[in-house]
């Protein structure tokens, strides 16, 4: 008999006032009992509406059925048949707008905690299963993957499972892309990402770090000189945007990418770190997405009073709902319907304040969202000594500028067809490099689609 509780089993977490002073994981994960209990809430709908919300089509009711039986390893096998990074997705997917959005239990009450169960299953597997991954027999075909973020890792994993010899080229010194430089430790422990990467290596995937494709080797060289029959570009959208307001280059103004890279990749929050970071007294984070929440919560953990400055209202915040709630609990102040107009500096060139203006929501714009409009005469000053710009990112132009015949759109995204094929034969692309900044799971979906298309092309 199903568990008919209207509420999800709550996730045990660190107390807000404790966790906002450390970088350890906030959500602690279900116990076996909680997972079993939550799994009983699934009604095993025949038409599986939840699956349409999952970009990699995890067989959700099937894995939950195994959890309910207590066979967690069987549940893991079902998930990993379609998802390369379950421990990651269970943590960072915006389930409320994906799988859980379509859950029938959500019509009356809360949906089944699909993400929490996925996370539980993956963590259980990682803690209990010591069996080395089996390296599939080689089919003799070589594929290069540019970028080791979620799109590249998924594409590499899917191809390696089919026997392809895959080499992943990563520009930074660690593989994982946004999973290692962007998403903080307290949301996604780096040991989990490392485990997923190690898993791929065990399947025979080669990971070459320190390789900036476009500089050290071009896509053409990979294909012509190194014998890669196909290339997947998953180079992401790493180019930060700025507002182009006065004072944006003062000391103490960071792009969120820089701030988060220093913290997450370079571990600048640790006392013995060789990489410095400014510990602001009062920090403004401009933007309302997940990156803004991550940056704000990191700044809080470095000891600052933190404001999120966002030009629209609370309902328009693009961040995952849970992240907004977590940020609020941790004491982040939300200055909504507010837009910066200038950053002020002292004679040393350090930030000493930010001029802002209040906004109101006007008519919907082309994207359907109500456009924020300035309220005349509402200017005010915010007392800050550090500003983090989290306005979004666009695709890095390096690959397009060094690959002949690769078509891109006006926003710098690589143009692909429904299979992920670019304008160049044998060259595929997916993830943020195509769409501009989006989500981890969409990038994984794109990596998966491209892997399938590459396999079809090369096994002809």
Partner 1 sequence: MYRIVRREALRPTVTLLEVEAPLIAKKARPGQFIILRVDEDGERIPLTIYNADAAKGTITIIFQIVGATTEKLNHKAEGEYLQDFVGPLGKATETEGRKKVCVVGGGVGCAIAYPVAKAFHECGTEVHTVVGFKNKDLVILEEDFRAVSDVMKLMTDDGTYGEKGLVTDALKQLIEAGNTYDEVFAIGPMMMMKFVSLTTKPYGLKTIVSMSPIMIDGTGMCGGCRISVGGETKFACVDGPDFDGHQVDWDLAVKRGAMYKEFERHAYEEACNLFKQEVK
Q: Give the x-and-dash track for 378-417 against partner 1 (CB under 8 A).
A: ------------------xxx-------------------
C-alpha to C-alpha distance for 168 and 199, rounded to whole angstroms: 14
Instruction: State the nearest-atom distance from the C-beta of 214 to partner 1, in Å.
Output: 9
What are the DSSP calls for 200-269, one per residue? HHHTT-EEE-S--BTTTB-HHHHHHTS--SEEEE-----EE-----TTTTSBTEEEHHHHHIIIIIS-TT
By CB under 8 A, name the one of 262, 282, 307, 424 that touches partner 1: 262
Is residue 46 a contact residue for partner 1 (CB under 8 A)?
Answer: no
C-alpha to C-alpha distance for 153 and 207, rounded to whole angstroms: 10
Strand partners, 287: none
Is residue 128 a contact residue for partner 1 (CB under 8 A)?
Answer: no
By CB under 8 A, name the one of 18, 129, 202, 216 that touches partner 1: 216
User: What would the two tokens of residue 256 be?
Assistant: 């969120």
Instruction: State the nearest-atom distance from the C-beta of 212 to partner 1, in Å.
Output: 6
Is residue 275 a contact residue for partner 1 (CB under 8 A)?
Answer: yes
Q: Give the x-and-dash track for 334-353 against partner 1 (CB under 8 A).
A: --------------xx----
Q: Give the x-and-dash track for 162-191 against partner 1 (CB under 8 A).
A: ---------xxx------------------
Window of 108-116, 153-161, 246-254, 291-299 that interacts with partner 1 by CB under 8 A: 246-254
C-alpha to C-alpha distance for 249 and 148, rounded to whole angstroms: 30
| Closest CB to partner 1 among residues 349, 362 | 349
Is residue 148 a contact residue for partner 1 (CB under 8 A)?
Answer: no
Structure-token match 């389930």, residue found: 95
C-alpha to C-alpha distance for 162 and 136, rounded to whole angstroms: 7
Is residue 261 a contact residue for partner 1 (CB under 8 A)?
Answer: yes
Number of residues that bind partner 1 (CB under 8 A): 39
Window of 26-34, 266-274, 328-336, 443-451 that interacts with partner 1 by CB under 8 A: 266-274
Helix, strand, or coil here: 421?
strand
What are the DSSP calls for 99-155, one per residue? GGGG-GGGTSSPPP-HHHHHHHHHHHHHHH--PPPPPPPP-S-EEEEE--SHHHHHH
Is residue 204 a contact residue for partner 1 (CB under 8 A)?
Answer: no
Instruction: State the nearest-atom distance from the C-beta of 332 to partner 1, in Å.
Output: 23
Instruction: State the nearest-atom distance from the C-beta of 390 to partner 1, in Å.
Output: 12
189 burial (CB, 10 Å; 0-12 / 13-18 / 19+) is middle
Instruction: State the nearest-atom distance from the C-beta of 456 to partner 1, in Å.
Output: 32
Window of 32-40, 134-142, 210-218, 311-319 that interacts with partner 1 by CB under 8 A: 210-218
| Closest CB to partner 1 among residues 94, 238 | 238
Is residue 258 a contact residue for partner 1 (CB under 8 A)?
Answer: yes
Q: C-alpha dihedral over 289, 294, 297, 298, to 10 degrees?
A: -150
Instruction: State the nearest-atom distance from the C-beta of 21 to partner 1, in Å.
Output: 21
Distances (CA, A) of 327 to 8, 224, 298: 21, 49, 10
Is residue 23 a contact residue for partner 1 (CB under 8 A)?
Answer: no
User: What would the two tokens of residue 146 be?
Assistant: 């540019």
E strand or H helix at 335: strand 333-335
Q: What are phi and psi of 362, to 5 degrees?
A: -100, -145
Window of 237-245, 295-303, 364-372, 425-433 that interacts with partner 1 by CB under 8 A: 237-245
Helix, strand, or coil here: 394?
strand
Is residue 273 a contact residue for partner 1 (CB under 8 A)?
Answer: yes
What are the DSSP calls for 42-77, one per residue? ----TT-HHHHT-TT---HHHHHHHHHHT-HHHHHH
Is residue 209 a contact residue for partner 1 (CB under 8 A)?
Answer: yes
DSSP structural state of residue 386: E
By CB under 8 A, name the one of 95, 98, 148, 257 that touches partner 1: 257
Instruction: State the nearest-atom distance from the C-beta of 328 to partner 1, in Å.
Output: 28
CA 175 to chain centre: 14
List of residues contacting partner 1 (CB under 8 A) = 171-173, 209-212, 215-217, 238-240, 242, 244, 248-252, 254-255, 257-258, 261-262, 266-267, 272-276, 278, 348-349, 396-398
């Amino acid at each position: 008999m199903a568990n008919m509780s209207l509420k999800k089993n709550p996730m045990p977490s660190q107390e807000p006032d404790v966790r906002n002073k450390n970088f350890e994981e906030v959500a602690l994960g279900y116990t076996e009992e909680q997972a079993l209990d939550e799994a009983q809430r699934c009604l095993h709908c025949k038409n599986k509406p939840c699956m349409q919300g999952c970009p990699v089509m995890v067989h959700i009711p099937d894995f939950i059925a195994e959890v309910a039986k207590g066979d967690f390893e069987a549940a893991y096998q079902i998930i990993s048949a379609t998802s390369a990074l379950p421990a990651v997705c269970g943590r960072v997917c915006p389930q409320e707008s994906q799988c859980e959005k379509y859950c029938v239990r959500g019509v009356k009450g809360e949906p089944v905690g699909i993400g929490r169960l996925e996370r539980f299953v993956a963590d259980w597997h990682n803690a209990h299963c010591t069996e080395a991954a089996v390296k599939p027999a080689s089919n003799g075909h070589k594929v290069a993957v540019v970028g080791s973020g979620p799109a590249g890792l998924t594409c590499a994993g899917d191809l390696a499972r089919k026997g392809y010899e895959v080499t992943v080229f990563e520009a930074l010194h660690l593989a994982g892309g946004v999973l290692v430089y962007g998403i903080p430790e307290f949301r996604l422990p780096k040991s989990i990402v490392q485990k997923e990467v190690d898993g791929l290596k065990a399947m025979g995937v080669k990971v070459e770090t320190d390789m900036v494709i476009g500089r050290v080797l071009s896509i053409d060289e990979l294909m012509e000189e190194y014998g890669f029959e196909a290339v997947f570009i998953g180079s992401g959208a790493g180019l930060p945007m700025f507002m182009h307001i006065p004072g944006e280059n003062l000391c103490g103004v960071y792009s969120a990418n820089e701030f988060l890279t220093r913290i997450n990749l370079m571990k600048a929050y640790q006392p013995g770190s060789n990489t410095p970071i400014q510990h602001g007294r009062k920090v403004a984070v401009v933007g309302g997405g997940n990156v803004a929440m991550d940056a704000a919560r990191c700044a809080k953990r470095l000891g600052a009073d933190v404001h999120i400055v966002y030009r629209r209202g609370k309902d328009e915040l693009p961040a995952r709902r849970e992240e907004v709630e977590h940020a609020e609990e941790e004491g982040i102040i939300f200055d909504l319907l507010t837009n910066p107009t200038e950053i002020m500096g002292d004679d040393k060139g350090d930030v000493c304040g930010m001029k802002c203006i209040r906004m109101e929501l006007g008519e919907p714009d082309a994207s359907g969202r109500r456009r924020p409009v300035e309220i005349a005469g509402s200017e005010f000053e915010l007392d800050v000594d550090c500003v983090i710009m989290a306005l979004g990112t666009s695709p890095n132009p390096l690959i397009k500028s060094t690959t002949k015949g690769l078509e891109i759109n006006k926003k710098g995204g690589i143009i692909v067809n429904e299979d992920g094929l670019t304008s160049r034969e044998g060259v595929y692309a997916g993830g943020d490099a195509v769409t501009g900044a989006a989500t981890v799971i969409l990038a994984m979906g794109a990596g998966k689609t491209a892997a399938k298309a590459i396999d079809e092309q090369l096994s002809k």
